[in-house]
Structure formats: structure tokens, C-alpha cells
């Protein structure tokens, strides 16, 4: 069975600072994908970034980067230069075998302050 663990229920960060949101995963499948989604207070799910288990380099998408440490089974999201609009819930998720089946963590609520 697959499992995603997010141990930070809430995080605060000052505007323009960088922040790391933690995610660890567990799977026995050698092939898997790791995703981060953002859920603002309006409720929609917004895709941020993807990392494949065989990818050699860490994924980056603009201000988002994924710190992938395969041996530690961690896939932390790094947001650089935080903005007020980054305040939201952030979910780490994993897929194995098919992209139609995601396993989600419980999320981290990020608050960006002035």
C-alpha cells in the first residue's frame, strides 16, 4: 500500500522568504510519481509540480522546486520568494501504476505574513 506523510499541519513564512514543506512517502513500487497540489481557500486543486521516481534531477517550476531524496523517501516542496497569494493548503500526492490513482497526504496549511 502507498502512504504519504505530511507532518507539518501549519507553517508560517514571511513574505519574500523561502519555505520548505515536508513530504515523506512509502511504496514498494519501483516506479512512481510525486505531485504537489495547492488548494486556496476557494477550494480548487491547482497542480504545482511533478517528480518521477527515475528522474535524475529535481523538478523545478518557476518559484517551486521539489527536493527529491529517494533514499530517504522524501519529496519536499520548496517555495522561494513567498508571496501573500501563496497562503493556502498544500498537498503532497503519489501515483503508482496509473495517473488516475493518487494517494494524498493530509496537507500543510501555509500562511504568508507581511
Partner 1 sequence: NAGVTQTPKFQVLKTGQSMTLQCAQDMNHEYMSWYRQDPGMGLRLIHYSVGAGITDQGEVPNGYNVSRSTTEDFPLRLLSAAPSQTSVYFCASSYSGGRDSYEQYFGPGTRLTVT
Query: Footprint of partner 1 on this chain (CB under 8 A)?
Result: 4, 31-33, 35, 37, 43-45, 47, 50, 52, 91, 93, 95-107
Cα separation, 66 vs 77, whole angstroms: 5
Least distance in angstroms from the C-beta of 114 to partner 1: 27
Complex with partner 1: residue 37 or 68, whichever CB lies closer:
37
Is 70 within 8 Å of 53 (Cβ atoms)?
yes
Kindly state the smallest distance separating residue 62's Cβ from partner 1, in Å.
15
Query: In terms of CB distance, is 19 or 91 closer to partner 1?
Result: 91
CB of 98 to partner 1, least distance (A): 6
How far is Cα of residue 64 from the mean position of the Cα atoms in its chain? 9
- Closer Cβ to partner 1, 12 or 47, answer by number: 47
Say if strands 3-5 and 24-26 run parallel, antiparallel, or are unpaired: antiparallel
Query: For residues 78 and 102, which CB has a smaller minimum distance to partner 1 in the complex?
Result: 102
Amino acid at each position: 500500500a502507498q502512504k504519504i506523510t505530511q507532518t507539518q499541519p501549519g507553517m508560517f513564512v514571511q513574505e519574500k522568504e523561502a519555505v520548505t514543506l515536508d513530504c515523506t512517502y512509502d511504496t514498494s513500487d519501483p516506479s512512481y510519481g510525486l505531485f504537489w497540489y495547492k488548494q486556496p481557500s476557494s477550494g480548487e486543486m491547482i497542480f504545482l509540480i511533478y517528480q518521477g521516481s527515475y528522474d535524475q534531477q529535481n523538478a523545478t517550476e518557476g518559484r517551486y522546486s521539489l527536493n527529491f531524496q529517494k533514499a530517504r523517501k522524501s519529496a519536499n516542496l520548496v517555495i522561494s520568494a513567498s508571496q501573500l497569494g501563496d497562503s493556502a493548503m498544500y498537498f503532497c500526492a503519489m501515483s503508482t501504476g496509473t495517473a488516475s490513482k493518487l494517494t494524498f497526504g493530509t496537507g500543510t496549511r501555509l500562511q504568508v505574513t507581511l
